[in-house]
Chain A
Amino acid sequence: METIQSIRPLLAVLVSLVTAFLILALDKKPNVRDTVSFVAAIIKFSIVASMAPTILSGGTIELNLFTILPGIEFKFKVDALGMVFATISSFLWVFASVYSVGYMRSAHEKSQTRFFACFATSLSAAVGGAFSANLFTLIIFYEVLSLVTYPLVYHKETEEAWEGSKKYIVYLVGTSKVFLLLGVVLTYYLAGTLDFMPKGLLANVSASPLLLTIVYFSYLMGFAKAGIMPFHAWLPAAMVAPTPVSALLHAVAVVKMGVFCVLRVVLNVFGQDLLGSLDLGIVTAYIASFTIIMASIYALTTDNLKTRLAYSTVSQLSYVVLGVVLLNPVASIGGIVHIASHAFSKITLFFCAGAIYCSAHKTLISELSGIGKKLPWTMTAFFLGSLSMIGVPPAAGFISKWYIAVGSIEAKEIFFLIVVLVSALLNAGYFLPITYKAFFEKENNHSHHPPDKNFQGLDSGHHEDVKEIPMVAIPLFITGIISIIMGMYPDYFVQLAKVALGIPH
């Protein structure tokens, strides 16, 4: 185990922050501004990737900036768990930056400068959170992420957008100000430090089980970004945002920040051993199972494509939590790998929803009949993403769900195996009909639904003009392919998960 002192974690965070200021300065030159985003995304990913070999071999990279209070530092520490999160968010930003330009321009969205600046800043917050060495640093980035994504949610500034964004900010900041604060204060009170430790920072603290249980649930409720029921309602509300936001932030960066924080709490604040002895793992597993099933049922009942994807996200996030709280090494690997598999698959699905909106101005699933002929690339990618989400071999989702299923057998908890299987059926139930409609149903010209009235782009609701937009279709097709290929070559993320869990390889 080597520990390297390096400024790279800070650089990775700063790249997109500096980019945000550049974007603001380049307000009048949209082409230069959007190129800057793309170049910054590549630089950011390169910096993150340059740290991967050290982490894969079991080392860590640290950067201590300053000491706040005794036991509290503003400090970066890159470890395997953080690397999973940083890799997916920085890698997918590359695609999202191309996609957003295509989307925002073809949808003629206003305030694009504000949009791209906030977008870049939220990537800083996500990677900053991934590289945080302690709870203090983590919650700084957690709060920054809530605040900078707020303008992205109310972006359209319609009545609906104000309502949705209000729910969004009230849920995220409210829970963090009440429950998260309680958790952090109690942790500092009990342990005198907030540093993450491989076996859990509360592992050797003597405190009553009741108090520790309170601390644990404060975190579970405080990290509302993880979307565990009943704190999930902000995510469907956030769907009023432009689709690139829903794709990269509300399928990857923001929600993964939530589950990442829960994983940090489980693995590095409490430690799986302590959670086991308090019987909290199994309780959380039931809550997560409830969320998985309920959210899938909600998803079945909605006709709005983005809302369906949002509920699907709520459901899939709880897979990650479920995997880790089964407190079994195999299931835990599944949970961590699912962060990555869900990210690639779900961003593809959201990209597709946005492409459909841009090209055909449709938001409802019932309107999608026959659209596969007009948008073959988009709908093929959608199909690939769906396969991965359902967990069909050899797609990415299969690998993570396989690990979780095997883990629940090893933990002798057959109930959770059933949950995983039932949920896969439900996933198939709400994803496959969309592809079926797109490719095998005849186009319905007597649609009862007029084109979305909020659409500010070209005023053509007819399928005759519908065609693929290259800047939108290319990124989504690549991510769709990756979500299958990742299932065949999952080594990178599985390896990181093993290092994060301390499993010898």
Chain B
Amino acid sequence: MVDILNNYPILTLVTFLPLAGAIILLFMKDDNAIRWTALCFTVADFVISIPIVCFFDTSTHRMQFPERYPWIPSWNINYAMGVDGISVLFVFLTALLGWICVLASWTAIEKKVKEFMIAILVMQTAMIGVFCALDFFLFYIYWEAMLIPMYLIIGVWGGERRVYAAFKFFLYTLAGSVLLLIGILVLYFAGGKTFDILALMNQRYPFAIQFWVFLAFFIAFAIKVPMFPFHTWLPDAHVEAPTAGSILLAGILLKMGTYGFLRFSLPMLPEASHYFTMPILLLSLISIIYGGYLALAQEDLKKLVAYSSVSHMGFVTLGLFVYNTNGLEGGILQMLNHGITTSALFLCVGVIYERTHTREISAYGGLAKVAPIYTTFLAIFTLSSMAIPGTNSFIGELLILVGAFGYNKIIAALSIIGAGLGAAYLLGMYKRVAIGKVNEHVKEAWDINAREIVAMAALVIFVIWIGLYPKPFLNILHASSEHLLQQLAIR
């Protein structure tokens, strides 16, 4: 089976299957048929991603299921794909969230269903491509390919201020992309005129080059994460985006930033990484506390979850930049956890928004009485987001904090304030939404339907699985993160 997988272009298949679906959708007319077709393609994509994870060889850090064909030989550009222990998890996460996005948009999107589903499917191809690409040129194409469909998802199907939010998102991301391109070109010329990511990792660059390239990469990726002070686009984008857009933003797009640090900044620019460690840790700390503090003040449910992302992603960057096994593995696991939990919370927000057409927390109340199944799911995801022991986020947070204590005890201790704030705003949110007097807006009894239950249950499985048995996931990323630490340690 492994041999078969290695000889078949399975990564190309998993990447381009959604695009093929998008092309087929172009020729379809009936909205319902379009929804089912989109669902079929995303589910098929998810099914294909399962053997990639199951037959992943956890003993090596090498790129697996590799594919490599010359593309533009004159510029030394190849079509090179492959996954290691870090990226394979996010290929899987993207494939998982793909069909959940389609389910979440089933009735929420009423106009231009065809165009919406096409945008989602194109996004999925681009996102999986970003995680698989082993050639910088190819990577950049996937990276840019995400921009337009996401812009449209927010700008066409978004809320009242969708145009403003979409434009802000576009400007921030574009600024990051330009800096990323400059950095890539500098590395191309300094690294022997190759776009091969693995080859560029083995090059040594003078510190002056590392310094400037690191800064360019840092701003590009920090916008995506987003880290303070580059976070201001996120609440607008999240609030205006439709549910599926928020899921993709929170679940995958934010991970692109930290993935960029893992794949490029740390292994290619180790000296500069060490040089910039302290400022980045301080920015992470500010993100953790400031994000949590802002979340505490939100009246809009979606904004609350959006700011909580800033805080939680601060923990991820904190873990990545302390350069030890616990911190790094915790950081990578927490990327996965955040993708699952925050997507689930946005799914919950979407469900209730569809029924009540408001996101004001004060308009809810007493949902536990009118929608018990829904509030049970909401409770699980809230606890997961709070990193209660037994849920996925606790494992990540524990590893990150243990790693951080190994690097700098004061920063680690201060970051725990963020955990306390998290408990405060999440519990406060749950109390106001789910218990207490039944609000007039939600008076009519309703509960989630089978379609929504399936989407949420799929995510609950991972919340509890990673919370109680994280070993398979840690095994997958172990060899690659050890290799990354070696790359950081030498020189």
Which residues of A approach B to under 8 Å, CB–CB? 66-69, 74, 136, 139-140, 143-144, 147, 151, 154, 157, 162, 166, 169-170, 173-174, 177-178, 181-182, 184-186, 188-189
Can you pick out 12 interface pairs between chain A and chain B where the beta carbons lie within 8 Å of each other?
A: A68-B395, A143-B390, A147-B388, A157-B436, A166-B431, A178-B416, A178-B419, A181-B401, A184-B398, A185-B401, A185-B402, A188-B402
A173 to chain B, nearest CB (A): 5
Contact flag A68-B416 (CB < 8 Å), given A184-B398, A189-B402: no
A69 touches B468 (CB 8 A): no
Whole-angstrom distance between the Cβ of B392 and the nearest chain A Cβ: 11
- A contacts with B: majority SS: helix
Q: Quick check: is B386 within 8 A (CB to CB) of the other chain? A: yes
Q: How far is the CA of A67 from the CA of B395 in the complex (A)?
A: 12
B146 to chain A, nearest CB (A): 34
- Identify B423's interface contact among A66, A136, A140, A177, CB under 8 A: A177
User: Could you tell me if A140 and B389 are in contact, using CB atoms closer than 8 angstroms?
Assistant: yes
Contact A74:B468 (CB < 8 A) given known A186-B405, A189-B402: yes
Q: Do B420 and A69 touch (CB < 8 A)?
A: no
Q: Is B406 an interface residue (CB 8 A)?
A: yes
Interface string of B443-480 (1 = CB under 8 A from A): 00000000000000000000000001111001000000
Contact of A181 among B406, B419, B437, B470 (CB under 8 A): B419
Nearest to B398 among chain A residues (CB) is A185
Query: Which residues from chain B sit less than 8 Å from chain A, CB to CB?
Result: 383, 386, 388-390, 395, 397-399, 401-402, 405-406, 412-413, 416-417, 419-420, 422-424, 427, 431, 435-437, 468-471, 474
Secondary structure dominating the interface of B: helix
Q: Lowest 4 A-B CB distances belong to which pairs?
A: A178-B420, A177-B423, A185-B401, A140-B389
Q: Which of A139, A157, A166 contacts B389 (CB 8 A)?
A: A139
By the criterion CB–CB under 8 Å, are B427 and A169 in contact?
yes
Tell me which of B390, B399, B406, B469 contacts A140 (CB under 8 A): B390
Give, as a whole number of angstroms, the nearest-CB distance from B406 to chain A: 7
Specify the chain B residue showing the minimal Cβ separation from A138.
B389
How close is A256's CB to chain B, nearest CB, in angstroms? 20
The answer to whether A136 and B389 have CB atoms under 8 Å apart is: yes
Chain B: CB-nearest residue to A165 = B431
Q: How far is the CA of A169 from the CA of B423 in the complex (A)?
A: 10
Q: Are B474 and A66 in contact (CB under 8 A)?
A: no
Which residue on B lies nearest to A190, using beta carbons? B405
Give the residues in chain B near A178, CB-CB below 8 Å. Answer: 416-417, 419-420
Q: A181-B401, A185-B401 are in contact. Are A68 and B406 (CB under 8 A)?
A: no
Q: How far is the CB of B167 from chain A (nearest CB, A)?
A: 38
**Known A139-B389, A177-B386, A189-B402; contact A67-B471, beta-carbon cutoff 8 A:** yes
Tell me if A182 and B413 are in contact (CB < 8 A): yes
B390 and A177 form a contact (CB under 8 A): no
Measured between C-beta atoms, what is the minimum distance from A26 to chain B in Å? 16
Q: Is the CB of A143 within 8 A of B388?
A: yes
On whether the beta carbons of B436 and A68 are closer than 8 Å, the reply is no
Q: Is the CB of A177 within 8 A of B398?
A: no
A312 to chain B, nearest CB (A): 29
Q: Let me know if B390 and A173 touch, CB within 8 A.
A: no
A67 to B437, CA, bound (A): 42
